[in-house]
Amino acid sequence: MTSTVSSSGRPAPAGDPPLLSHRQILTILSGLMLGMFLGALDMTIVSTAVRTIADDLDGLSIQAWVTTAYLITATIMTPIYGKLSDIYGRKPLFLAAISVFLVGSMACTLATSMYQLAVFRAVQGLGAGGLMSLGITIIGDIVPPRERARYQGYIVAVFGTSSVLGPVFGGLFAGMDSFLGFDGWRWVFLINVPIGIVALFVVARVLNVPHERQNHRIDWWGAVSLALGLIPLLIVAEQGRDWGWTSTAALACYAIGAVGIAMFLRVEAAMGEAALFPMRLFRNSTFSVAIGASLLVGVAMFGSITLIPQYLQIVQGYSPTEAGLLSLPLMAGIMVSTTIIGRFTAKTGRYKIAPVIGTLLISLGALLFAQLAWNSPLWQPMAYMAVIGMGLGGCMQTLVIAVQNAGPRSDMGMSTAAATFFRQIGGTMGVAVFLSILFSTLRDNVRTAFAELGVPPAAASTGGGQNIMADSSFLQRIPLEQAKPFLIGFTESINTVFYVAAAVAFAASLVVMTMRELPLPEVRR
């Protein structure tokens, strides 16, 4: 048995994970990976098919709410699952998360309007909020600290597999008129049902880890105030580009969000140890720095991952399915670096060097991506993807390990949920800001390209009746010479975004350099 000094300076029993064999750990991981695969696959498969879904349900103008509703509930539920799992144990909460996700998936299959689909997607999010964070927490429960990076490579494999299969299945189902009596797009949600049932069975059978109940009150007021603070801010992050960042609706969201966050901070201070995020966690410098770095990495990571397919599809002309397959170098880079870092961490107990190098690699890869031209050979974006992937592999799970190792095992659920939560918040901010930069610069860049090619600037806004701001599909139907100004302008805007991503990743490296490393203890057998 070991002990850890808490952020308050008092010794806190940390305890060692149960000593399980490699085979036992892999058996448990099989159930965890199925559950996490549900959440990871859902994000990519829906984003590929959402336009087809919106056309079928006559709701093209509100399609963004299908994503926004899911994102809101998933983000808010992440810390709640973490806290409840510390009190009641991981297994019942993980089973509950899978069950709620399945109910939401079946409801989405039966949706008859985009408004219904948005509501049912919110139900899905209620379950999704626990799938990833609880899976990572359970790995922390069963695997000694030094070996976590090695086993968390399996989790990275889940991301990699879903990022490839999601666009493939999404494009396949969206292209079907019907299959086994259901509209093709409904299988985007229906496919979750057999996977989820298998996951429920496996988790129920194999996940038997002893849990010592933490007798805390449940911070319901904290959850309510967190929702009040986050919901309007997440809404404006998704909708602000369409509304206008200084519109009346956006300003109202800012105001309500600020009030909610102020209430949340007051409630958390009053709740003490029962808070969703006890304030003492943030007095630990390693925890705070790792959380800050996770936020910045989330901005760079999700922003980059969102825009790389945009370049491949709009500029290079590949289909969503092809773009998913061409993103393999990104996932390969993540998996290779995760494997290397896992072995290094297990051998030395050191981890700080990984996110330092990782954030610098993300910055370098983004800078390289910012140099692409509209007609760059395919090997260039694929090589630069691999560099970004190598960097992400050095950060994604290592920062979680730093957070988990910063406090006692009794805080495992809260700590892991905090790292996941702030990374999701960073990702939402990154996507919103990067897309805003992309579309705010696009019109001027296209106009400049028209002028440089000798076409009157007035033609740039619509290109003879075509508006790239609303629909880019016309680029694949017109001659290359007519499409060229649009392709050049879009590439210039993406270059600007990646310069910003490089700066954010470099800032993350500076933050990580200030982190106080707490070497991981050796495994005692």
Domain ranges of the chain: 18-210, 220-275, 279-525
DSSP track, 458-493: GGGTTTTT--TTT--GGGGTS-HHHHHHHHHHHHHH
- What pLDDT is attached to residue 56? 76
- What pLDDT is attached to residue 173? 81
Higher pLDDT: 468 or 460? It is 468
Torsion of CA 360, 306, 136, 160, to 10 degrees: -90
Supply the mean pLDDT for the chain: 80
* Architecture label for domain 279-525: Up-down Bundle (1.20)
- What pLDDT is attached to residue 480? 67
Q: Flag whether pLDDT at 5 surpasses 50.
A: no
Is residue 456 very low, low, confident or very high in pLDDT (cuts 50, 70, 90)? low
DSSP track, 370-400: TT--TT--THHHHHHHHHHHHHHHHHTTHHH
Is residue 334 very low, low, confident or very high in pLDDT (cuts 50, 70, 90)? confident
pLDDT tens digit sequence for 92-147:
999 999 999 999 999 999 888 888 888 999 999 899 888 888 888 888 778 877 77
- Give CATH for domain 18-210: 1.20.1250.20
Instruction: Look at residue 4 and give its three-state secondary structure.
Output: strand
Q: Flag whether pLDDT at 188 surpasses 70.
A: yes
- What pLDDT is attached to residue 7? 36
Q: Flag whether pLDDT at 161 surpasses 80.
A: no
Is residue 377 very low, low, confident or very high in pLDDT (cuts 50, 70, 90)? very high
- What pLDDT is attached to residue 477? 66
Higher pLDDT: 379 or 280? It is 379
Task: Give the gyration radius of the chain's Cα atoms.
Answer: 23
Span 59-82, average pLDDT = 78
> How many residues belong to the chain?
525
- What pLDDT is attached to residue 495? 92
- What pLDDT is attached to residue 62? 65
pLDDT tens digit sequence for 246-299:
888 889 999 999 999 999 889 888 887 777 788 888 888 888 888 899 889 888
- What pLDDT is attached to residue 96? 93
**279-525 matches 18-210 in CATH topology:** yes
d(CA 236, CA 256) in angstroms, rounded, equals 11
d(CA 38, CA 131) in angstroms, rounded, equals 8
